[in-house]
Structure 1
């Protein structure tokens, strides 16, 4: 009974080296010091944490949004206030999550007329697909449940007095932008949406040439996929202040006529030329 078995292992192995991780070396790579979570934790799939096409910022932002409770603000401004990355990088990361089906953003109008953005985060894109829809796509290219609707244009400033002549002049400004840059060719629907914003600029004592210059200067060199959205952003972000207050001009004083003597009763009265007084003319 005291004979040793030279073929028996000293202790069982939980995982063979390289079995689940080809190419992994026992003397390199990460080593996990794991503890079991029993509270205050979030389950995140590897299809997000190890996504092959998302940027690191998009993956981290997706994990953060998934860990938030329902109703938490996830707008660009609130996320930029929370993290050191600026609004531009955060907006780009949100677009990545939206393109890969993790995020859905729609604009809804409340009964009071206020327009709000509804954000839905999907922790596993494509999980609602049924058997009739065919095989699910791999986690590498998750697809949304249905094609996303056409994104609405951002709101633009509104003029205080939208007169027909002012709106017509604003439409002429927008229609002429394509002559300065062919990429700024706008549809009739986009022109109708942007015209009040141009009218708000012109209402602030800005000539059409100044509005054209503000909308066309320093455009990006790459192709413009949504030129109307770019113009809407500029009309809102670069809106000039109202002109300084100018008090109305005082009314012109009434003319002071010279004194005249009535040729009938010798009464003195003011008139631009000699003649008779009012009483003599009436009699």
Structure 2
């Protein structure tokens, strides 16, 4: 007796027209009059989107124009965490419902502009005329009413009149006449030809969400791949797995990476320094060790060692240093290019010179 029953839902279920299904969901449809959002089945029943992504898309679609829909803002509105909301936004971005771009405003202020499209298929597919969308309805609307091609109309003849006395009239003399023209409405319309092939279904009108990636730089090459450098680089790559077990390379990978290692050795890099630069802090799990080595050999290439002329220029003094001298009068040290007296002793001599004269 203490269990509450939803009597309103029971009454509404009793008013559902038609026989109810024996299994599955039963819909009680009450038309909305205010505060509602139209959501297409292409989104609500999307086979590749998760339920979280569909729910986030419906939430974004129901918000007014200009509402903040960043990950932080959606986390404050929804019960899902930041990771689930970020993953849902990436799903919507991959399927064309969402596009995020960074724009620079006057004053060097950078903002993230978010654009949501409730029907992305309409942007990538051209609109077709109604005749192509509903060919059967267009054919019924354009075709005239089908009538029999020929109607046999009986020729006028004697009419029997019910009267007290039957009067027989002489049969009229048949007059040969031409066949009447058949009206256009009675002519069967020609069978419409199949529609011509339309434009291609996929016409991209929206730029991709991400910019194209820049091409990777080629693997560094030594100025002269001598046999000694080739053997040293091959031995280095083959022995790499003994120091880092996850870096197991195939023979083709070793031959492809030999020029890069030879370029490092040519620049006077020590093998232990090369090994630390290539194998320290790898990602977990490491799926493609050869690709990681190729990337690090290219991006971390040290500069060429300076030549003898460059080192001589570095050793050459740039500032001339004035040597120390000892004063002849007071034996005090002072800097001067020529020996003699210090400044104080010179001033004293200058002051006493006129008096002595």
Task: State the TM-score bracket (shorter-chain normalisation).
Answer: 0.3 to 0.5
| TM-score, scaled relative to structure 2 | 0.37
Which structure is higher in RCO with an 8 Å CA cutoff and minimum separation 6? 1
Q: Greater Rg, structure 1 or structure 2? A: 2
